[in-house]
Structure 1
Amino acid sequence: MTLYDLFQNFKIFEAKDDADRASLRSTDNVGEINKLRDQIDHLSLVCQATCELLDEIGISKKMMLAKIQEIDLRDGKLDGKYVKQHTCRSCHRPLAARHLMCMYCGVLVDKAELL
């Protein structure tokens, strides 16, 4: 067996190992996707029940859509996403959830405030 053959066999072994790891990650991803689908199904059910109850007490679909748009625009972008804004209890400037202290005034952030 030549040095080239050894090198080729090593590369083939590496490729098979990479393929096996990718296959395992793919299986893990399928499980995570199924969990997310279950969560979406549950949230859809909750939203449907909420909308029907609100309609029964006189809150129209038009009113709901207006409130959804109002909440969506709180971060300055009409993008269909809700981003909760947190502010420092001391200087009232915006806080990022990843920071342990306010980057403006240095006050320690109580993580319970960010929930």
Structure 2
Amino acid sequence: MFKIDKTDMNFQSIAVDNVINKKEEVNSPDHYTSGKFETIEMIEEVTKNYDNGYLGMCVGNAIKYLSRAPLKHQDKGLTDLKKAKKYLEFAIKSLEEYAKDN
């Protein structure tokens, strides 16, 4: 016969509640779903017309960082704005190099 430890059952119940109520960190986290559109939807829409994968990736990353800037860090978005700027610089450099070669 098994003896049921009520303390253990309570701990397991709390653990299950924590898993069920835990904010989603991978699929649709708050910092990507705070507005009308999920960030990935905006990225897909904006980058679908880029025929250069690298350029699309740079623009997509800039959108990602811009959309989450005020929500993710304690520095009021400065870190993510700098990251967005860096990816836009990568995109601009890529286009400028392409223009020189063609």
TM-score (norm 1): 0.32
- Report the structure, 1 or 2, having the larger helix content: 2
The structure, 1 or 2, with the larger RCO (C-alpha pairs under 8 Å, 6+ apart) is 2
TM-score (norm 2): 0.36
